[in-house]
Amino acid sequence: MMIKAIAVDMDGTFLDTTSRYDVQRFERIYHQLCKKQIKFIVASGNQYYQLKSFFPGKDAEIVYVAENGAIIGENQNLQSVSQFSSTFVQTLLSVLLTNDYTLEFIVCGVKSAYLLSSASQQFKEFAKKYYYQLTEVSSFNTLPDDVFVKIALDVEVEKTNSVVKQLNVQFDGQLVAVASGHGSIDIIIPDITKGSTIAKLLKKWQIMPDELLAFGDANNDLEMLGLTKHSYAMEQSSPQVKRTATYQAPSNNNSGVLAVIETYLD
């Protein structure tokens, strides 16, 4: 069966550990994808504005599934797929601020991401790397005028699993907390994942799930990898990702995604 769409996670998958990729090699591949009318989907927990900064001049062709599926960028149009209610965000933030999770967090809106001006300098530097539209606020007592799609937490690595479990139990049915690697936790909208959003796009494009080629490394990629038999776990993936994916790709530090795509194009 011919591949008609390719979905790639970014950190730990498409990008190497220095957040780069082989631009010249990708340009050659991208030219072939456009020629064959194969859709290229960038699917990440990261912000839309940050994702498109990696592919200048390609907004008309590349489809962005950002914030773990809550936002779609297609044909230079930004669409919010789903959102948390402001009331729930307020409740959740008060719990995060009062409970002893020893964490820092970012509230992700469609217009911008928001963090407290009292956050540590180290966390601010981390946030700048992943959020191109970033606003500091003195307090979350009054929420900014925006639509909220995700809350990103940063916790001590060894506490990740317990915080994920605690939040999922405490807010069962209202949120899904998922580890996205290295002490990062994404609080996402129930039933909205990279996989569910990509499935809707495939249906709209009249592409069968097994005409999708997908790559990922962390647990927020599981639903996306589960869509297709042409799924690849990166070399340094979580055990669950390796169990879910059909195949294993070479390391992200060796352009593993590009190497696999080339075999399909050949």
Based on the domain organization, do 100 and 76 belong to the same domain?
no
Owning domain of residue 33: 5-81+192-265
Based on the domain organization, do 172 and 106 belong to the same domain?
yes
What are the phi and psi torsion angles at 58 (to 5°)? -115, 15
Res. 194 pLDDT band, cuts 50 70 90: very high
Based on the domain organization, do 197 and 70 belong to the same domain?
yes
Based on the domain organization, do 11 and 35 belong to the same domain?
yes
At 171 the pLDDT is: 96
Which residues sit opposite 115 in a β-bridge? Answer: 136
Distance CA 156, CA 102 (A): 8
Q: Annotated catalytic, 9?
A: yes
Res. 15 pLDDT band, cuts 50 70 90: very high
Based on the domain organization, do 249 and 120 belong to the same domain?
no
End-of-domain residue from the set 158, 188, 218: 188
End-of-domain residue from the set 171, 188, 205: 188
Res. 155 pLDDT band, cuts 50 70 90: confident
Based on the domain organization, do 109 and 68 belong to the same domain?
no
Instruction: Say what percent of the chain tops pLDDT 90.
Output: 81
End-of-domain residue from the set 142, 160, 188: 188
Res. 20 pLDDT band, cuts 50 70 90: very high
Catalytic residue among 9, 186, 217, 221, which? 9
What are the phi and psi torsion angles at 179 (to 5°)? -75, 135
| Sign, CA torsion 55/56/59/60 | negative
Per-residue model confidence as pLDDT tens digits over 21-54: 999 999 999 999 999 999 999 999 999 999 999 9
Contact between residue 143 and residue 181 where contact means Cβ atoms under 8 Å apart: no
Based on the domain organization, do 220 and 179 belong to the same domain?
no
Per-residue model confidence as pLDDT tens digits over 106-120: 999 999 999 999 999
At 100 the pLDDT is: 66
The CATH number covering residue 148 comes to 3.30.1240.10
Average pLDDT over residues 152-174: 91
Based on the domain organization, do 132 and 76 belong to the same domain?
no
Residue 101 has pLDDT above 80, yes or no: no
Please report which residue ranges of the chain form alpha helices under DSSP H: 23-35, 48-52, 86-98, 121-130, 160-170, 194-205, 222-225, 239-244, 256-265
Please give the tally of structural domains in the chain: 2
For the chain, give the longest Cα–Cα distance.
56
Based on the domain organization, do 42 and 172 belong to the same domain?
no
Based on the domain organization, do 231 and 215 belong to the same domain?
yes
Per-residue model confidence as pLDDT tens digits over 67-85: 999 999 999 888 877 899 9
Q: What is the Cα 209 distance to its own chain's centre?
A: 19
Based on the domain organization, do 126 and 138 belong to the same domain?
yes
Based on the domain organization, do 177 and 112 belong to the same domain?
yes
The CATH number covering residue 32 comes to 3.40.50.1000
Residue 254 has pLDDT above 90, yes or no: yes
Residue 129 has pLDDT above 90, yes or no: no
